């Protein structure tokens, strides 16, 4: 018999899913079905079908059977749909896989991907146009009509205060947790000593053979500042190129909170009490508010916090206090990102596809200050697209140190180490529990060899 085939059931350790597949040995070469045919359902009936298929494949007349027919036999849609309704079938799902790939490093010459593919955006626009023709025009809801979303005002205050809390706590943690920053590139490392990996891309990296020159990191290296133009009227005219120096710039997250309802005396903004009156697609006038009574100052839902000066920062006194501070910092980090994501669903945030420039508003500004790759062809104009959470709050990924008191990281064992955001790694080294959503990239279940010789024996 020129071909021997067997059907096996394996478990995908990366995603936590069980799947059935066929492994064939054709002319001395092993071939496996692609991983895209994985199934999430395991039942006794599927196991019996697997055994039946194994007995069929053992016959000699299957020498000329094509691999496509085997795939169709195993992954038939009709058979899968019948098993979905079986009472004894069970599903195993894992939202956070055991091991996940690191975030992709994009070159400066590449354009950012759209959060939603352009084909899907055009298809959704055509669907909205069809529904609009058959239905009467409806009122424009907030915040597109110039009013605030009342339910998001407390969330905006929470995001603003958690950002201040996070900055104050990070300043305290820097007193007890050592963080290194490269003097030539933007890479940082959390640990007693800097990592030995040759990954420097800064000036003179070829002379140093990619090695980093470590210095002490600051709060800006850990919590990356992303600034944006402050808009007095978020529905007003777009910022022109000549106005780029006359308009103040504030942290983008603070600007998002201001547009969502946070009142800061230093950065006034226009608050409407009546919806705007649309004249055209992009033309509108403000409604007459003279008949309304004078607005009475309302007390904010929560008082605004302020940053503590560096000279007044006090380090934790003992390990127990450090662990509590780390838990509070990690909670503030997750709460800030969760609240900012809710605000971004209603208030538009734009990012340039070529550079890290962020603009909070329905449309991007017209300032021609993009200096990314081939900016001459675009005359310095930005390529605006919808922003994601990592554009507004970029996490700085660092190498995860499995044991702070153990041996330092080894250059030859780089493939066995994981990564985590710098803030998460600081809190973990200070005594906080590891968040569930970061366990996949930290590679906690990967056994790290004790030596290079043992690593060479790993299959």
pLDDT at 227 over 60: yes
pLDDT at 238 over 50: yes
pLDDT of residue 134: 79
pLDDT of residue 96: 56
pLDDT of residue 49: 52
Which tens digits make up the pLDDT trace of 129-185? Answer: 988 887 887 788 899 999 999 999 999 999 999 999 999 999 999 999 999 999 999
Query: Are the C-beta atoms of residues 289 and 273 closer than 8 Å to each other?
Result: yes
Domain locations in the chain as residue ranges? 3-91, 150-442
pLDDT of residue 93: 53
Which tens digits make up the pLDDT trace of 269-286? Answer: 999 999 999 888 778 899
The pairs formed by 144-150 with CB atoms below 8 angstroms and a separation of 24 or more are: 144/362, 145/275, 145/276, 146/235, 146/272, 146/274, 146/275, 146/276, 146/286, 147/272, 147/273, 147/274, 147/275, 148/260, 148/261, 148/271, 149/260, 149/261, 149/346
Which tens digits make up the pLDDT trace of 179-197? Answer: 999 999 999 999 999 999 9
pLDDT of residue 296: 80
How much is the mean pLDDT over the chain? 82
Work out the burial of residue 415: count CB atoms within 10 Å of its CB; fewer than 13 is exposed, 13-18 middle, 19 or more buried: exposed
Average pLDDT of the residues in 22-41: 39
pLDDT at 208 over 70: yes
**Where is pLDDT greater, at 97 or 389?**
389
Average pLDDT of the residues in 201-227: 94
Percent over 90 (pLDDT), the chain: 61
Tell me, yes or no, if the pTM score tops 0.85. Answer: no
């Amino acid at each position: 018999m020129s071909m021997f085939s067997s059907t096996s059931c394996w478990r995908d350790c990366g995603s936590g899913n069980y799947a059935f597949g066929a492994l064939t040995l054709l002319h001395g070469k092993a071939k496996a079905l692609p991983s895209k045919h994985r199934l999430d359902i395991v039942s006794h009936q599927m196991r019996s079908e697997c055994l039946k298929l194994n007995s069929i494949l053992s016959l000699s007349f299957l020498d000329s059977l094509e691999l496509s027919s085997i795939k169709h036999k195993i992954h038939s849609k009709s058979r899968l749909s019948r098993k979905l309704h079986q009472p004894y079938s069970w599903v195993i799902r894992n939202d956070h896989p055991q091991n996940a790939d690191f975030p992709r490093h994009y070159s400066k010459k590449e354009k950012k991907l759209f959060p939603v593919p352009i084909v899907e955006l055009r298809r959704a626009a055509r669907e909205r146009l069809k529904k609009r023709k058959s239905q009467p025009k409806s009122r424009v809801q907030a915040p597109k009509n110039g009013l605030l979303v009342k339910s998001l005002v407390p969330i905006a205050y929470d995001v603003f205060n958690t950002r201040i809390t996070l900055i104050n706590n990070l300043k305290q943690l820097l007193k007890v947790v050592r963080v290194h920053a490269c003097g030539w590139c933007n890479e940082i490392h959390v640990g007693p000593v800097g990592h030995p990996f040759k990954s420097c891309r800064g000036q003179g990296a070829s002379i140093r053979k990619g090695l980093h020159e470590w210095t002490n990191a600051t709060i800006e290296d850990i919590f990356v500042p992303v600034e944006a133009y402050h808009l007095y009227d978020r529905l007003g005219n777009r910022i022109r190129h000549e106005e780029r120096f006359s308009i103040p710039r504030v942290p983008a997250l603070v600007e998002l909170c201001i547009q969502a309802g946070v009142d800061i005396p230093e950065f006034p903004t226009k608050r409407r009490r009546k919806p705007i009156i649309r004249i055209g697609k992009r033309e509108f006038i403000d409604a007459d508010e003279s008949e309304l009574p004078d607005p009475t100052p309302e007390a904010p839902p929560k008082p605004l916090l302020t940053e503590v000066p560096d000279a007044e920062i006090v380090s934790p006194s003992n390990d127990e206090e450090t662990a509590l501070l780390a838990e509070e910092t990690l909670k503030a980090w997750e709460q800030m990102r969760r609240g900012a994501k809710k605000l971004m669903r209603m208030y538009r945030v734009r990012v340039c596809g070529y550079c890290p420039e962020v603009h909070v508003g329905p449309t991007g500004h017209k300032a021609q200050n993009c200096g990314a790759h081939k900016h001459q062809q675009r005359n310095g104009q930005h390529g605006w697209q919808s922003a994601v959470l990592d554009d507004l709050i970029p996490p700085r990924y660092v190498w995860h140190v499995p044991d702070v008191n153990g041996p330092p990281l080894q250059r030859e064992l780089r493939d066995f180490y994981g990564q985590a955001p710098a803030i998460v790694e600081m809190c973990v080294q200070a005594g906080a529990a590891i968040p569930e959503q970061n366990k996949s990239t930290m590679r906690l279940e990967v056994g790290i060899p004790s030596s290079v010789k043992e690593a060479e024996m790993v299959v």
